[in-house]
A and B are shown apart, each in its own frame.
Chain A
Amino acid sequence: MTAALIGGAIIGVAVSLMLVFNGRVTGISGIVSGVLSPRKNDISWRILFLLGLLSGGVLLRFIQPEAFQNASNNMGLIDYAVAGLLVGFGTLLGNGCTSGHGVCGISRLSVRSIIATIVFITFGVLSVFIFKTLRGGV
């Protein structure tokens, strides 16, 4: 679990910088949504954040190439398409995802975020259970 803890701590530092300097919650779904339908003077920081994510991804390809190796063999393109639809709609309807609710909101002891996180983890567990039952593996 050490790698996960260290990775998590780095994420904690990142979202803390965003709050201390820019006064913003680092919620990825909200940031993406704000790029898709931008408001005046509220887009450049979002684009730069996303460019940061992609640059971090490029860096990872050098320092941790296994970060992009996947062992899920039971997935087709249609699965990714359907999952993307659910994630896009669900995160906007519920005002957040793993980062905004799961990390930032819980850290502020927001009751909404705590409830949302319990619900999306529960339904994530249910989804994996259904997937495995239908496909015979993750």
Chain B
Amino acid sequence: MKGLISFIVGLLFALGLGLSGMTQTHVVKGFLDVFGNWNLNLMGVMIGAIAVHSIVYHLIKKKESPLFDSKFHLPTKKDLDGRLITGAAIFGLGWGWAGICPGPGIVSLVSGDLNIVVFILSMAVSMYAFKFYEEKFLK
């Protein structure tokens, strides 16, 4: 059942991204183009998503466990370390450069666009490289 839920979540997530404009790189870059032709529309995606999810989170946060698992798997880290800030900064540079973040990148693979395929392969290689770096230097 967990698998079925995951599949449905993925499907809905992709529809939300597509309908909102997140899969179009020029729309995303327009949102980040604060000093140029700033297109604030994408703010709606975050407002809509956070409005719904924060209400649901508030309603269920006192529950002992989710419906299909024995416990919640939520992040427990609280520290604001250099790793968080540096990582977010590096991610932001890549996100702005191409106008693609991981979710829309994966959804856009179905367009068959070679640019997107290269982006996702490159992202996967980089994730492997990170794991190597983490083993060697961060542990």
Contacts and interface: CB of A to CB of B under 8 A. Distances in A.
Nearest to A99: B103
A57 B7 CA distance: 13
Given A15-B53, A125-B96, A86 B90 contact: yes
Given A4-B41, A5-B47, A10 B15 contact: yes
Given A9-B51, A94-B91, A97-B102, A115 B80 contact: yes
Contact of A44 (B3, B48, B57): B3
Contacts of A122: 92
Contacts of A45: 2-3, 5-6
Contacts of B84: 94-95, 112, 115-116
Interface string A22-45: 111110110011001100000011
Contact of A23 (B26, B73, B90, B130): B73
Contacts of B23: 60, 67-68
User: Chain A contact residues (Cβ within 8 angstroms of B): what range?
Assistant: 35 or more
A52 B107 CA distance: 9
User: Chain B contact residues (Cβ within 8 angstroms of A): what range?
Assistant: 35 or more
Given A48-B3, A84-B121, A7 B22 contact: yes
Contacts of A129: 33-36
A121 to B, nearest CB: 7
Given A25-B75, A29-B102, A70 B25 contact: yes
A5 B74 contact: no
Nearest to B40: A1
Contacts of A10: 12-13, 15-16, 19, 48
Interface of B: 1-26, 29-30, 32-36, 40-54, 56-57, 60-61, 65-69, 71-75, 77-80, 83-103, 105-111, 113-116, 118-131, 134
8 contacts: A10-B12, A21-B68, A23-B74, A25-B73, A26-B9, A56-B10, A87-B100, A99-B103
